Every structure is written in structure tokens, then in C-alpha cells.
Structure 1
Amino acid sequence: MAAQQSQGIQTLLEAEKEAAKIVQQARQYRVQKLKDARSEATKEIEEYKKAKERDFKAFEQSYAGTTSNAQTAVDNETEIKLQAISESYTRSKDLVVKKLLDRVVLVKPELHRNLKKLGA
């Protein structure tokens, strides 16, 4: 009976070793699957980034011409307005200086309005 118990214990120990080996293989398999999934996800992310970057570059190139055209139009309009302001300044500067000098030099001696009320 001792031999039978010994044989039963030996069988249980072997079964336990086999189960531990199976569990270890399952863990290794799971770890490998996680690594594969991560690397696959990284590849997909990189492909997605590249695709979006290409789309953005295409979008940017399609609208790059319109921004340069708009900038050119704004520059031309600004130049025209600056010329108009310069011409207006050139035409009006003498008249403005004359009006200012006339006002500064023109002195009418009269009583202040508050002083007039007191005297009346």
C-alpha cells in the first residue's frame, strides 16, 4: 500500500509539473501575443500618421497658392492706399500750415465770457 501511495504521489507530482509547464507556456504565449499586438498597433499608428501627413501636405499645397495670391492682393491694396495718403498730404500740407499759422497769429483781444457777465 505504501508503494501504491508513493506511486500516486509520484503521479500527482508529475501532473503538477506538467500543469506548471502548461501554465508557463500559456503565460509565454500571452506575453508574445501582447508584444505582437503592440508592434502591430504601432505599425498601424505609424501608417495612419503617414497617411494623415500626406493628406495635410496635399491640403496645404492646394491652398498655398491662394494664400500667396491673397497676400499679393493685400500688399497691392496697401501700396495704393499709401500712395493716396501721400498725395493727400502733399496737396493739403500748405493749406493746413497756413490755417494753423492764421489761428495762432490771429489774436482778438476781448473780455472772457465770465468776466463779461460780472460787468453787465
Structure 2
Amino acid sequence: MSAQNSAGIQTLLDAEREASKIVQKAREFRTKRVKEARDEAKKEIEAYRAKKEAEFKKFEAEHTQGNKAAEEEANKEAEEQIKAIREAGKKNQDKVVKDLLSAVFDVKPVPLKA
């Protein structure tokens, strides 16, 4: 009976070792699968990021061109106004100088009313 018990115990120990090996393989497989899933997720995230970055750059380029056109138009208008002001200054320069000199040299004293 002792030999039979010993054989039964040995069978249980063998079954436990086999189960332990199966559990270890399952853990290794799970760990490997988790790493693969993580790598796949990183690749998907990177692809999504690249796609969104490209969309943003396209959007930015389209809207920046509109801003550049508006900026150029504003600069053009400003230059035209500056030119008009300078021309008006040159046109009336002699009269302004004459009026200033007249005001300085042709003094007309006026008595104060108290």
C-alpha cells in the first residue's frame, strides 16, 4: 500500500509540475502579448499623431496665406496714405513756413482786458 501511495503522490507531483509549466507558459504568452499590444498601440498613436500634425500644418499653411495677403494689403494701404501725407506736406510746405514766419515776425500786440 505504501508503494501505491508513493506512486499516487509521485503522480500528483508530476501533475503539479506540469500544471506549473502550463501556468508559466501562459504567463510568458500573456507578457509577450501585452508587449506586442503596447508596441502596436505606440505605432497607432504615432501614426495618428503624424496624421494630425500633417492636417494641422495644412490648415496652418492655408490660413497663414490669407493672413499674409491681408498683411500685404494693409502695408500697401499704409504706404499709399504715407505717400499722400508727404505729398500734402510738400504741397503746402511753403504756405506753412510763410504763415509761421508771419506769426513770429508780424507781432500785433493786443491789450489785455481786465
TM-score range, shorter chain: 0.7 to 0.9
Once the two structures are aligned, what percentage of the paired residues are identical?
41
Residue 56 of structure 1 deviates from its aligned partner by 2.0
1:23 aligned counterpart, secondary structure = helix
1:10 corresponds to which residue? 10
Change (3 A) 1:87 1:2: same
Alignment of 1:77 onto 2:77: yes
Q: Which runs of 5+ in 1 are unaligned?
A: none
Cα deviations by residue, 1:62-94 (Å, 9 ceiling, x for unpaired): 334312211210110121222233345443686
Aligned counterparts of 2:16 and 2:25: Cα–Cα separation in 1: 14
- Report how many residues are paired: 113
Residue 8 of structure 1 deviates from its aligned partner by 1.6
> RMSD between aligned alpha carbons?
3.1
2:54 corresponds to which residue? 54
Residue 6 of structure 1 deviates from its aligned partner by 1.0
AA paired with 1:35?
K
2:67 corresponds to which residue? 67
Aligned counterparts of 2:34 and 2:74: Cα–Cα separation in 1: 57
TM-score relative to the length of structure 1: 0.70
Cα deviations by residue, 1:29-63 (Å, 9 ceiling, x for unpaired): 11011011111111111221222122223323333
TM-score relative to the length of structure 2: 0.73
Alignment of 1:32 onto 2:32: yes
Change (3 A) 1:93 1:49: farther
2:96 corresponds to which residue? 95
1:11 aligned counterpart, secondary structure = helix
AA paired with 1:49?
R
Residue 101 of structure 1 deviates from its aligned partner by 8.5
Residue 108 of structure 1 deviates from its aligned partner by 6.0
Residue 21 of structure 1 deviates from its aligned partner by 0.4
AA paired with 2:65?
G
Q: Which runs of 5+ in 2 are unaligned?
A: none
